[in-house]
Structure 1
Amino acid sequence: MALSRALRCCQRIFSWIPVIIISSVVLWSYYAYVFELCFVTLSNHLERVVYLLMFHVCFIMFCWTYWKAIFTPPSTPSKKFHLSYSDKERYEMEERPDVQKQILAEIAKKLPIFTRAQSGAIRFCDRCQVIKPDRCHHCSVCETCILKMDHHCPWVNNCVGFSNYKFFLLFLSYSMIYCVFIASTVFQYFLKFWVGDLPNGPAKFHVLFLLFVALMFFVSLMFLFGYHCWLVAKNRSTLEAFSAPVFQNGPDRNGFNVGLSRNLRQVFGEDKKLWFIPVFTSQGDGHYFPLRTLRESENPLLANEGKWMEDGGSDEESADENGPSVIIRTES
């Protein structure tokens, strides 16, 4: 027991190493750009002021989005998806797998669940003792079920899911802007150092490494950001891109794809002025999502809406804190 706790503690400590590496590189880039480039290398005062102003805007937005991606807790299923004491006792006492599936199916009728396991059964997490909402998955690193889980990212030491997916995308985009700005403004001084127009000194090596590091990170970020832009356009998570969600009629990679405009609004919200600011604006509460192939008239959730909402209480309040709830609407 003590050994297990010690290993878990070591794992938590080591999990911060990627974040420390990124933070160290960013702090060094701040020193190299502000002091070695702007104050030591630049002689034009107007150029120095413009560079410093634009650099700090990029730096602040990068740090803000990175902070939000790291420290925004991933959302977990609400209490409605946990088994009640009687249901849990009935489920655990039953030894026949087919009957257990029937018990879960009966409970799930009251919940807005449309996806199934590969076997066609209701998706249930034995470790969390929770019926999984659509697009919810168990993270073995966080040791809990995450709403609309995309992946566990070591570079932010956090699960990327419903609560912070927008922040993760903004972090990638502002990281690219940060790298592009540094590379574009440093390049001319890199050439001057290279041909000997500027004197040798410590600033020369900082400028050289600034360009190489910025270009290296930009290339890697460009592919990752492009991949996630494609995922957002298709309304898929990374997990769904590798394994299509299963519905009652079978697997469908485009099951949650409701059109580019609505896909974007699900992640970034209705107010376009807030799309590029790291504040939570995503639609819904992460427990259910519009379906592409389901019409409103055929939606069983509308028939059970009273059951779903009648004992909402605290869950409704928590949904309001996380963002506006969304009514399931679909396009044929």
Structure 2
Amino acid sequence: KMDHHCPWVNNCVGFSNYKFFVLFLAYATLYCVVICATVVQYFIKFWTKELPDTHAKFHILFLFFVAALFFISIVSLFSYHLWLVGKNRTTIEAFRAPVFANGPDKNGFSLGFKRNLVEVFGDQAKNWIFPVFSSQGDGHSFVTRLVHIGPEQANSILQQNGKIPANGEPSPCVLVNSAPHTEDSSKETADASQTVAVTMDSEP
């Protein structure tokens, strides 16, 4: 499972470290919020000229703007990856859909929002916010949606569940009536529907 190569951390992000990458974005977003929250009071005093006229006020100005700019960029990237986690989709799959037997499908690995979170963060919610590896799977084989199985596999599954008889030819039934629909009855119905009454008036 390959997500993307991140030049900011100088490493490739994949199955083994994707959870850590998402948590890194969450921690960085929270850190920017803390910086802006603690510096905003001094930033307001800077604009109202209540701070002492020293070089330190420019440090406060620089710190606030850098934290705000990083917050905007990181929170957008963090939101995008949360959306990818909810879809159980990688960055590469978002730009190029994976190809299955029935064709390309971006949602081929989507198992529902809750199960998608479990695939990345694990089945123990208490470990989601901590940097410990808890992702599901081995990184090579993943569960896909049922719609991607072939017709033969679908028939075998339905036969196991008793939905289709062993011969693979379910007996057709009339939708409205519970009586079985046979070939003879269908012929009779067809003959009856094709019967046309013709009357001719003879001239005197």
1:217 lines up with 2:70 in the alignment: yes
User: Which AA in structure 2 matches 1:233?
Assistant: G
Aligned-pair distance for 1:201?
1.8
Give TM-score, length-normalised by structure 1.
0.44
1:247 lines up with 2:100 in the alignment: yes
Aligned-pair distance for 1:154?
0.3
1:199-278 matches, cutoff 5 A: 199-278=52-131
1:179 alignment counterpart: 32
User: Which AA in structure 2 matches 1:164?
Assistant: N
Match of 1:279 among 122, 132, 137: 132
Q: Distance in 2 between matches of 1:168 and 1:298?
A: 37
Q: Secondary structure at the match of 1:152?
A: strand
Give TM-score, length-normalised by structure 2.
0.71
**Structure 2 stretches of 5 or more lacking a match?**
155-204
User: Which AA in structure 1 matches 2:95?
Assistant: F
Q: Secondary structure at the match of 1:150?
A: strand
1:161 lines up with 2:14 in the alignment: yes
Q: Please say if residues 193 and 200 of structure 1, whose CA atoms lie closer than 8 Å, have aligned partners that are also in contact.
A: no
Q: Secondary structure at the match of 2:138?
A: coil
1:77-156 matches, cutoff 5 A: 148-156=1-9
Q: Please say if residues 170 and 278 of structure 1, whose CA atoms lie closer than 8 Å, have aligned partners that are also in contact.
A: yes
User: Which AA in structure 1 matches 2:57?
Assistant: K
Aligned-pair distance for 1:298?
4.2
Q: Secondary structure at the match of 2:134?
A: coil
Q: Distance in 1 between matches of 2:15 and 2:104?
A: 22
User: Which AA in structure 1 matches 2:26?
Assistant: S
User: Which AA in structure 1 matches 2:25?
Assistant: L
Q: Secondary structure at the match of 2:5?
A: strand
Q: Distance in 1 between matches of 2:75 and 2:92?
A: 20
Q: Distance in 1 between matches of 2:141 and 2:100?
A: 13
1:16-31 matches, cutoff 5 A: none
User: Which AA in structure 2 matches 1:275?
Assistant: W
Q: Which has the larger radius of gyration?
A: 2
Aligned-pair distance for 1:215?
0.5
1:292 lines up with 2:136 in the alignment: no
User: Which AA in structure 2 matches 1:247?
Assistant: F
User: Which AA in structure 1 matches 2:120?
Assistant: V
Q: Deviations over 1:91-141 (max 9, x none)?
A: xxxxxxxxxxxxxxxxxxxxxxxxxxxxxxxxxxxxxxxxxxxxxxxxxxx
2:161 alignment counterpart: none
Equivalent pairs: percent with the same residue? 64
Q: Secondary structure at the match of 2:120?
A: helix
User: Which AA in structure 2 matches 1:171?
Assistant: F
**Structure 1 stretches of 5 or more lacking a match?**
1-147, 300-332
Q: Distance in 1 between matches of 2:64 and 2:114?
A: 37
Q: Deviations over 1:189-213 (max 9, x none)?
A: 1111221222122321111111100
Q: Distance in 2 between matches of 1:152 and 1:175?
A: 19
User: Which AA in structure 2 matches 1:187?
Assistant: V
1:122 alignment counterpart: none
Aligned-residue RMSD, C-alpha: 1.6
Q: Give the helix-richer structure, 1 or 2.
A: 1
Q: Distance in 1 between matches of 2:131 and 2:66?
A: 25
User: Which AA in structure 1 matches 2:20?
Assistant: F
Aligned-pair distance for 1:184?
1.4
